[in-house]
Structure 1
Amino acid sequence: MKIVVISDTHLPKRKKGLPARLIKELQKADMIIHGGDWQTIDVYHELQTYARVEGVHGNVDDEEILGLLPSKKIVKAGGFTIGITHGHGKGKTTEKRAIAAFEGEKVDCIIFGHSHIPVKRYEGDILIFNPGSPTDKRRQKFFSFGVISLSDKITAEHIYF
């Protein structure tokens, strides 16, 4: 199973649309996970044309997205449990807030956004993954998103462009 992971698209504020490099991967996705800060519901509807979409709202999303998506979600896929949160809030780092959001819950992976900084590391047995942003790289050298592959194990990679 192939999951394309994105966050912090901020459309149409940062770009007019999704970049071609991302669209190429979306066309082969079995599922899409968005870690929040979509900006408008149009992004959600566009992503649905490619595959099943799971996601959460972020701190800059409009009322439609806030009404549609939770701030935290757990998704089952390919025998794995994936926690999704945006990671915004007060105190701690974005990554620490994301991990704390699933404290006491059994997850194999935590996906978060907010910082626009790509992260791929393990906290014990839990994969901690931030895809970065495909449309708003801020101080990062490249735009980025992620691809998670599920088989007998869960693996993740960043796609930089």
Structure 2
Amino acid sequence: MLIGVISDTHLYDRANELPKSVFDEFSNVDLIIHCGDITDKEILDLLKDLANVVAVRGNMDYLNLPRKEILEVNDIKMGVIHGDVVYPRGDRLKLRLLGKEMGVDVLISGHTHTPFIDDCKDILLLNPGSPTVPRCPLKSIMKLSIEDKLEAKLIPIE
């Protein structure tokens, strides 16, 4: 299974559009996960044209979405949160503890606008960054390939 992961799109409050390369990269995925700060329902509708979408509510969202989701794909339990409940922002130890509390193998979050892949041995922490308003030099999304194991790949966006 191939999963596209995106977060912090902030349309239309901080960005005018989702880059075309996001749609190109997600054209072959089976599922899209959005980790919040969507800010406009139209984005979910556009993504749903590509694949099924699982989305959580971010601190800038007023959409009727859950604060967290737990999915199971090929016996891998994945938790999805926005990440605004973690302070300091993006603290990996606190994310790890939250993931363990949720009982997941993988915790996917957003909020920081900074991408990372952090294998803590007992849990994999993922953040796709932001394709529109990054806090590091690159705009980014992520793809997850799940067969016998999960492989995460960060994808820079032009």
Scaled by the length of structure 2, the TM-score of the pair is 0.91
**Structure 2 match to 1:137:** 134
Unaligned runs of 5+ in 1: none
Q: Does 1:119 align with 2:133?
A: no
Task: Give the residue type in structure 1 aligned to 2:127.
Answer: N
Greater CA drift, 101-110 or 36-45 = 101-110
Please report how far the alpha carbon of residue 101 of structure 1 lies from its aligned counterpart in structure 2 after TM superposition.
3.1
Greater CA drift, 102-111 or 35-44 = 102-111
Unaligned runs of 5+ in 2: none
Q: Secondary structure at the match of 2:101?
A: coil
CA contact (8 A) 2:6 2:129 kept: yes
Q: Does 1:152 align with 2:148?
A: yes
Q: Secondary structure at the match of 1:46?
A: helix
Identity of aligned residues (%): 36
CA contact (8 A) 2:99 2:106 kept: no
How many corresponding residue pairs?
Answer: 156
**Structure 1 match to 2:50:** 50
Cα displacement string for residues 60-92 of structure 1 (whole angstroms, at most 9, x for unaligned residues): 002xx1x2x111110112331110001103634
Shift of the 147–95 alpha-carbon distance from structure 1 to 2, 3 Å rule, reads farther
After the TM superposition, which residues 39-118 of structure 1 pair with which residues of structure 2 at under 5 Å, given as runs?
39-62=39-62, 65=63, 67=64, 69-89=65-85, 91-96=87-92, 97-118=94-115
CA contact (8 A) 1:5 1:33 kept: yes
Q: Distance between the aligned counterparts of 1:70 and 1:98, measured in 2?
A: 18
CA contact (8 A) 2:107 2:123 kept: yes
Shift of the 95–111 alpha-carbon distance from structure 1 to 2, 3 Å rule, reads farther
Please report how far the alpha carbon of residue 103 of structure 1 lies from its aligned counterpart in structure 2 after TM superposition.
3.2
The CA RMSD over aligned residues, in Å, is 1.6
Q: Distance between the aligned counterparts of 1:141 and 1:112, measured in 2?
A: 19
